[in-house]
Chain A
Amino acid sequence: GQQVMQIPQYQHVQEGEDFTTYCNSSTTLSNIQWYKQRPGGHPVFLIQLVKSGEVKKQKRLTFQFGEAKKNSSLHITATQTTDVGTYFCAESGNQFYFGTGTSLTVIP
């Protein structure tokens, strides 16, 4: 089946540093969604990207969809301790294929 890979698997940053996670697919994605899962919690929807080359911003978070619609990235500027969690990308179709996730630790 579909497999969406994310890198890195883990990231430790000092509070205030930037953070980026990358999502890659071997096939063209119809769209990409991003979710955040806090430790012990459930995934929470952040955003959906549909168009090739699309860029969306939510405060300190910037989401990009690649021109070929095979990759996507999430960038967080000036991380805060509240950003801690695992970030998943997912392709949504009739089924949702979640990426492997990037676990972010922010050191105060």
Chain B
Amino acid sequence: ETGVTQSPTHLIKTRGQQVTLRCSSQSGHNTVSWYQQALGQGPQFIFQYYREEENGRGNFPPRFSGLQFPNYSSELNVNALELDDSALYLCASSLEPGRNTIYFGEGSWLTVV
């Protein structure tokens, strides 16, 4: 158990819809990162939030957006879903940005049909 929880665990959406995924970070961790992992691929960095501010972004279009709340939990929002957005979305928390170990949640499996 990493103390990082994500919801929902599985969901199916239709192309063009919007989705919100949620993550509760490990207690005491102020940094949350989101990753997209397609089947058979490594996790791809989407963005990171540190103390409620975006602190880095990977090569993902603006329809991928996020939030971090005062309790350091986080949301990932994806608008105008495309079939290629089907993937495992992983949230990870860490004490601070940088070199600290990151702890992953179980992930949210998104299928876009």
Which chain A residues have a beta carbon within 8 Å of chain B's beta carbons? 1, 30-31, 33, 41-45, 48, 50, 88, 92-101
Residue B8 interfacial (CB < 8 Å): no
Q: Is the CB of A30 within 8 A of B42?
A: no
Chain A residue at smallest Cβ distance from B6 = A42
CA distance A41 to B105 in the complex (A): 9
Q: What residues on B are CB-neighbors of A88 within 8 Å?
A: 42-43
Partner of B58, one of A1, A43, A50: A1
Q: Is the CB of A48 within 8 A of B58?
A: no
> With contacts A42-B107, A43-B90 known, is A95 near B56, CB below 8 A?
yes
Q: Give the interface residue-count category, chain B.
A: 20 to 34
Q: What residues on B are CB-neighbors of A94 within 8 Å?
A: 48, 55-56, 97-98
Chain B residue at smallest Cβ distance from A97 = B45
Provide 19 A-B residue pairs closer than 8 Å at the C-beta atoms, listed in order of the A residue.
A1-B58, A31-B99, A42-B104, A48-B99, A48-B101, A50-B99, A92-B99, A92-B102, A93-B98, A94-B55, A95-B48, A96-B33, A96-B35, A96-B43, A96-B92, A96-B102, A98-B43, A98-B45, A99-B42
Q: Is the CB of A95 within 8 A of B42?
A: no
Partner of A101, one of B42, B59, B98, B106: B42
Additional A-B contact list (4), CB under 8 Å, known A30-B99, A43-B43 = A1-B59, A33-B101, A42-B90, A98-B45
What is the predominant secondary structure among interface residues of chain A facing chain B?
loop
Q: What residues on A are CB-neighbors of B44 within 8 Å?
A: 98
CA distance A42 to B99 in the complex (A): 20
Q: What residues on A are CB-neighbors of B72 within 8 Å?
A: none
Q: Is the CB of A42 within 8 A of B106?
A: yes
Residues in B18-44 with C-beta less than 8 Å from chain A: 33, 35, 41-44
Q: How far is the CB of B80 from chain A (nearest CB, A)?
A: 24
CA distance A34 to B107 in the complex (A): 19
Q: What residues on B are CB-neighbors of A96 within 8 Å?
A: 33, 35, 43, 45, 92, 102
Chain B residue at smallest Cβ distance from A86 = B42
Q: What residues on B are CB-neighbors of A1 within 8 Å?
A: 58-59
